[in-house]
Amino acid sequence: MPLNEIDLDHADGVAADVDSERRMREIRAVVGRLPAGQRAVVELVWWSGCSMQEAAEALGLPVGTVKSRLARARARLGDQPVFLQREELA
């Protein structure tokens, strides 16, 4: 591969990393405005990959409470510009 193509690939990678970091800061700021209970569920389920049951156990809550808090967080975050890509709310 010619050197100039390697430089372009690296530049594209750096630009993608910078964009990804900017987007993550935006997401953290929006999630940070959620009530504490909803934020805890979002952090465990969306970011840490816990199941609803695992999140419930970690928080000492019934699974139904975890589900309702996650649903309320989805509803609240769904209209935020940073969350317009719906797969982030799945």
Per-residue pLDDT for 81 more than 80?
Answer: no
For residues 55 and 42, is the Cβ–Cβ distance under 8 A? Answer: no
For the question of whether the overall pTM of this predicted structure is more than 0.85, the answer is no
Question: What pLDDT, on a 0 to 100 scale, did the predictor assign at position 36?
Answer: 96
For residues 55 and 69, is the Cβ–Cβ distance under 8 A? Answer: no
For residues 66 and 42, is the Cβ–Cβ distance under 8 A? Answer: no
Other beta carbons within 10 angstroms of residue 76's beta carbon come to 17
Question: What pLDDT, on a 0 to 100 scale, did the predictor assign at position 44?
Answer: 94
pLDDT digits (tens, 9 = 90+) for 49-62: 999 999 999 999 99
Alpha carbon 59 to its chain centroid, in Å, reads 19
